Chains A and B, each alone.
Chain A
Amino acid sequence: MHRENMKNKSLSDKVLIVTCYSFLILLGITIIIPVMNLIAVSLSTQSSVVSGQVYIFPKGFHIEAYKYIMQSKQFYSSLYVSLFVTGAGSILAVICSILVAYPLSKRKLPGRKWLLLLFVFTMMFSGGIIPSYLLIQNLNLINSVWSLILPQMINVYNLLIIKNYFEAMNESIEESAKIDGAGQLRVLFSIVLPMAKPVIATVFMFFVVGYWNNYFDAKMYITKRNLMLIQQYLQTVIFEAKDPTGDFALNASSTLQMAPQTIINATVVYAMVPMVILYPLLQKFFEKGTMIGSVKG
């Protein structure tokens, strides 16, 4: 960044730059290759996968695996559940975060220290897996989508990011609105929120990623197959297919003429796609967002 031209560089400089380029390109390749292999295997013919000929590019282009998955009812129900949980969850979560971050950003709020401690303490010490499970059980939320939405709704990291941003905002506009007679809620929605769009969008994205990638909550609280989240569904597919002598593998190779790995990989690709699509949007926001909140994502 602080260099201008490559001429008149000393030898040590050139060596350094070449090292940096090589290292980073190598790192990039390390990331790209497994993903390309994943996609390649999902598109390749059975014989080429089994005989180990697929590296980065598919051998043959056959989308049977994808078609097969699209025929699975369970895949669709998982997709639908995931979309609902992610959408509803993220919206609710962002609203909740704002509703708490705004009051807590007012330095003169009585009891602010204790309220903050109340929230931050949950980051430090948590009850544990078992008590949470028992709670969900006692609330009769096992096998309910709400067990997937509610526990994750309150994320103190994200809350702090929004709170810090609100604190840094200029108070004079809010005060003039209050003098004009606006109530707190009005001030929040009409004035503060429009000014805080980048941070809200960033936190919304964080929640979307969190909800979409949620695996553990679903595994614990959902046993009905048609309510599984997509990550959980994916895990079941991988697990069933891992056994090379199991039903799934035999079915795949004889009836469907596909290597089991192909089907597994195709399912992984399906689960990956939404993240990849969202990724450019995410990139736009998180670089700004992490610097605003100065909290590691």
Chain B
Amino acid sequence: MIKHYIQTKSYTTTCKQIEMGVIDLSAITRRKKERRSIGRFKREGYLSLYLMMLPVIAILIIFKYIPMNGVLIAFQDYNIFDGILGSEFIGLDNFRLMFSESDFLRALRNTFVLNLYKMCFYIPLPIIVALMLNEIGKRLRSFIQTVLYLPHFFSWVIVGGIFVSILSVNSGLVNQWMKSVGGEPVKFLFDSGIFLNVLVFSAMWKEIGWGSIVYVSAIASIDPEIYEAARIDGASLLQQMIRITIPNISSTIVLMTLMSLANILGNSFEQVLVMYNPAVYDVADIINTYVYRMGVNNMQYGYASAVGLFNGFVGFLFLISANYLCRKFLDKSIW
């Protein structure tokens, strides 16, 4: 949040104006006094504003800030019976264990690989979709948009259920079709080599429509007269797209890219949790699913908290860097 200091006059000019009677000093001091008493009146208004926020802030603190005690738990050999104050403090042991644990390192690698892979598609494809939507007639356009936005509103349980259904080895749609054209059925969900592609494809299936909304509205705000002028000058639609549309939404593109970057440790958690199985752990087990298994299933609370803290902290660093880049290139903050 930047304060704008509006500097209108220099000191000498102001003095001269006071001398000449253009600026009435006494009126100014009078107004200042009034503002202070209005200030008090306003503060009464402020009181009720603060009171309004109080219950919500309380809930915020309880449910978002208190769990940050994970920072402490991460350094403990946590025992639920002893609680935070009673559990033994073991310093960096959890972290040392973490970096020597091959499962964790695998999860770390998988997280980056999966999210970078997703980003390769998730950044350009919504842009392309928005550009293409821009070239189509209105009726088909709203129909396609309706269809495209729908999967975003389904939960991962539903989308996962759909993909598990159509990719099933025996009765899934895809394998059925492959059998009918003479191919062999593929174990999409159990084959490490293919599973990543399944994850990325299903994530695109779900989000590509919604992701294009931002760009669609950005394109809609471009002044149509520019296109008119280009058309009169004989530009083809392709040229118009490349030379008008894309440059005008470039700041939106950069903003979205940076936001994706900030999310690089990503939130594929629900998706993977719903769709993975032990056969594909070596490519699909990501940090959050690892934390989940270690913490909730194996009850290694201290260790899982340490991993979670590491994850949260690294994510925070990425977010801050992305925001810094954003401010540098676009003069805007992400928030």
B269 cross-chain contacts in A, Cβ below 8 A: 216
What does DSSP make chain B's interface, helix, strand, loop or mixed?
A: helix
CB distance from B282 to the nearest CB of A (A): 20
**Residue contact B147 to A154, C-beta cutoff 8 Å:** no
Contact with B along A183-217 (1 / 0, CB 8 A): 11100100000000000000000000100111110
Q: Which of A17, A32, A131, A185 is in CB contact (< 8 Å) with B147?
A: A32
Q: Report if A129-B238 is in contact (Cβ < 8 Å); known contacts: A118-B57, A119-B60, A272-B154.
A: no
A125 cross-chain contacts in B, Cβ below 8 A: 68, 312-313, 315-316
Contact with A along B156-199 (1 / 0, CB 8 A): 11101111111010110101110110000000000000000000
Identify the stretch in B19-27, B105-113, B301-309 within 8 Å (CB) of chain A at 4 or more residues. Answer: B301-309
CB distance from A70 to the nearest CB of B (A): 18
Q: Report if A242-B149 is in contact (Cβ < 8 Å); known contacts: A12-B237, A20-B132, A129-B295.
A: no
B253 cross-chain contacts in A, Cβ below 8 A: none
Interface residues of A in 81-120 (CB under 8 A from B): 96, 99-100, 102-104, 106, 108-110, 113, 115-116, 118-120
Distance A282 CA – B335 CA, assembled complex (angstroms)? 25
Asked if A43 is at the interface (CB within 8 A of a chain B CB), the reply is: no
**Number of B residues, CB within 8 Å of A:** 108
Asked if B121 is at the interface (CB within 8 A of a chain A CB), the reply is: no
Q: Report if A137-B80 is in contact (Cβ < 8 Å); known contacts: A27-B148, A37-B165, A271-B158.
A: yes
B203 cross-chain contacts in A, Cβ below 8 A: none
State the A residues within 8 Å of B (CB): 1-3, 10, 12-13, 16-17, 19-21, 23-25, 27-28, 30-35, 37-38, 41, 49-50, 52-55, 96, 99-100, 102-104, 106, 108-110, 113, 115-116, 118-120, 122-135, 137-138, 150-151, 153-154, 160, 178, 183-185, 188, 209, 212-216, 220, 231-232, 234-235, 238, 242, 244, 259, 261, 264-265, 267-268, 271-272, 275-276, 278-279, 282-283, 286-287, 290-291, 296-297
Pairs A–B under 8 Å by Cβ, sample size 30: A1-B134, A2-B231, A13-B237, A16-B237, A27-B129, A35-B162, A37-B173, A52-B179, A99-B52, A100-B53, A100-B56, A125-B316, A127-B66, A127-B69, A128-B291, A128-B305, A129-B292, A130-B308, A133-B296, A183-B45, A184-B45, A213-B156, A216-B269, A220-B296, A231-B158, A232-B157, A234-B158, A238-B160, A238-B164, A287-B213
